[in-house]
Chains A and B, each alone.
Chain A
Amino acid sequence: DVKVTQSSRYLVKRTGEKVFLECVQDMDHENMFWYRQDPGLGLRLIYFSYDVKMKEKGDIPEGYSVSREKKERFSLILESASTNQTSMYLCASSAETQYFGPGTRLLVL
């Protein structure tokens, strides 16, 4: 079974903090993705990566950056957390079909 794990299920941070969300997959997938999920908006793509050290902006990259130093790990970084980044963050990996992690629910106070 494909396994995508995310470092935290719940996270509470203060405005202005630097936040790291980690994602690891165990299926040797080339492609990895970060989405955020908000009520009424569905899932929106933040960043994605089709190879190690490669990254591409998605639809809503502002305020975020990513790191892909190893094939199995894709990190999302909030450079200076703001309250409007309170959300559910979902990581996914794929060969042909995307598999999702359990999500990290982030609250920024």
Chain B
Amino acid sequence: GDSVTQMEGPVTLSEEAFLTINCTYTATGYPSLFWYVQYPGEGLQLLLKATKADDKGSNKGFEATYRKETTSFHLEKGSVQVSDSAVYFCALSAKAGTALIFGKGTTLSVSS
């Protein structure tokens, strides 16, 4: 079945460092891909998404490109802030609006 694998955490960075969180997927067909973020004590918020190959999703300085050839959707940010400390989830859905399959989450901790 479909699945999502993302890098294990925690990831610990200093403020203004470059961030990459790796995400790869296995799916039949052409899934939509998502990054969600969960701040402490809160639910999940959509960070960005891409619905077809070569699409780039971006939001709040974060970016991810849908790479069909490598089945990847890595999350990047050029300069992280303390306020980016959170848990990040990569997810896919086989069809728009249907159930999501999540990776296990990566905890990011940014210190000043």
Contacts and interface: CB of A to CB of B under 8 A. Distances in A.
Contacts of B43: 4, 90, 100-103
B82 interface: no
Contacts of A15: none
Contacts, number: 53
B89 interface: yes
B27 interface: no
Query: How many interface residues does chain B have, given as a range?
Result: 20 to 34
Given A90-B44, A100-B43, A95 B99 contact: no
A25 interface: no
Contacts of B98: 31, 94
A35 B44 CA distance: 11
Given A42-B103, A96-B97, 17 more contacts: A4-B43, A31-B97, A31-B98, A41-B104, A42-B102, A42-B105, A43-B89, A45-B100, A48-B99, A98-B34, A99-B46, A100-B36, A100-B44, A100-B45, A102-B43, A103-B42, A103-B43
